[in-house]
Amino acid sequence: MNKRYSILSIVAVAAVTGILFGSTYSNTQIVAGNALGVSPETIDKVTPQTIDSVTAKDVQSVGGLVFNMVGADAIPLDQVATEKANGRTVHEVTLTAQSVDLPIPGGKMYHAMTFNGQVPGPTIRVTQGDVIEVTLNVPSTELTGHSLDMHASRISAVPNFGPVMPGKSNTYAFIANTPGAFKYHCEGVGVIGMDQHVLSGMYGMAIVDPLNGYHKLLIQRTATQNGQVVLNNTLVSPAAYEFTLQFNQLYIDDNGSYNQDAMFKHQTTWTVVNGKPFGYDPVVTKVWKGAGGQNEAAPLILPVGQHIRYFVVNQGNMPLFFHIVGGQMDRVTQGNMVQAMGTQTWNIGGSQDAIIDVVYDEPGAYVVVNHDYAAIFSGAAAVQLAQASPAPNPSDAVPPVSSVSGTSMPQQTFVHCECTNDRAAQLGNMTGQ
């Protein structure tokens, strides 16, 4: 059974690679068997100008596409300065692929793949219409190539999301036209190994704030008046205490190595929130002994009666039944659309996101979970304590402050991350703590 899975997966990945990545890599992997008999000269004839006239069969017959910068959001690098001169804000983002060992509960380590030595990677935050110019560096010490797929873009996967081999780097730019909380992730080497790389930590979030900011939040409650129950609706300012919550799975064996067999069977070893199992649950994780203080489990602290905004991304390949024990969601937004107001659980599929707004009326403990019991008991539980006043929060749950005025309530943070000690020290210096 396992062998069958493996062979099938290789064939499937090779087929996808052949269509998407008709580059040197797929030539090596597929055309070596004379299946397509393609030459580089043939591939290069497929240009943006001819793309409208080619069919899927044509694409396959030449072994894939090699072209530059086709896509609604793409900007050639030599035009970034022009966009800036025209008034767009340009964000230069650098991500470095880094394979490191990171701690899991019980004093063990696992073999993680990261951007910048942390899981999830750094949260990128821009405003709708801004330019993101992103560079992926892959140090020569890496044993494999990596890549970067930005879901915040509409931009040709080839060559932008193509493999970057050890010792190389790749830069591309795009306009973040669509607001939302978007995934970014490694695609492995021409999608081969993508599952291992993403499920071992190579993912992150890019928040694109709406150009005109977020809407006020309607809070629907009731009151009594003259002996009768009446509606008591209030509008809350868009300014919110903001948090990022990224859910994923770890599939690892006893040696801390990626276990593809377990992934195919959906047999989760750990479920992680922002890279850690039970990382915001100091009760369950008393046994957590990481390498540094950044690994100590710590709850989120929420001010009662204030607008809380969660940016949620399901980075994994299992459903996320997002639920707050003891709470309800006052508003759920996906893309540009409000999907629900006053709801108990929201289903967020793999690589899907939601922006969730809540006001907690009473002090107490409220636990964010994936309401799948296998997920809860393998790590998908983030304890939140609602109290009268704000308090410093774990840094990996707090996004950068929005550039849109009246959006982010600034928060104090302390270093808390699934990251190396070096990265924790950097983050401490960056936040002045």
Binding site for Cu ion (CB under 5 A): 146, 186, 197, 202
Alpha helices in 30-170 (DSSP H): 40-44, 56-61, 80-85, 157-160
CB of 145 to Cu ion, least distance (A): 7
Q: Which residues contact 370 (CB under 8 A, 6 or more apart)?
A: 247, 271, 320, 321, 322, 323, 376, 380
CB of 202 to Cu ion, least distance (A): 5
Which residue's CB is nearer to Cu ion, number 48 or number 166?
166
Which residue's CB is nearer to Cu ion, number 112 or number 152?
112
CB-based contact 199:248 (threshold 8 Å): yes
Which residue's CB is nearer to Cu ion, number 197 or number 423?
197
- Which single residue is written with the structure tokens 């109290």? 387
CB of 86 to Cu ion, least distance (A): 34
Which residue's CB is nearer to Cu ion, number 202 or number 302?
202
Which residue's CB is nearer to Cu ion, number 201 or number 327?
201
Tokens describing residue 400: 């950068």
CB of 93 to Cu ion, least distance (A): 16
CB of 421 to Cu ion, least distance (A): 22
Which residue's CB is nearer to Cu ion, number 350 or number 363?
350
**Rounded Cα gap, residues 91 and 106, in angstroms:** 39
As separate numbers, helices (DSSP H) first and strands (DSSP E) second, the chain gives 10, 26
CB of 164 to Cu ion, least distance (A): 9
Going from the C-alpha of 374 to that of each of 70, 269, 270, 320, 371, the distances in angstroms are 42, 10, 9, 11, 9
16 exposure class (CB count in 10 Å sphere: 0-12, 13-18, 19+): middle
CB-based contact 241:302 (threshold 8 Å): yes
Query: Which amino acid appears at position 164 of this protein?
Result: V
CB of 281 to Cu ion, least distance (A): 29
Which residue's CB is nearer to Cu ion, number 186 or number 415?
186
In this structure, how many other beta carbons lie within 10 angstroms of the beta carbon of residue 226?
5
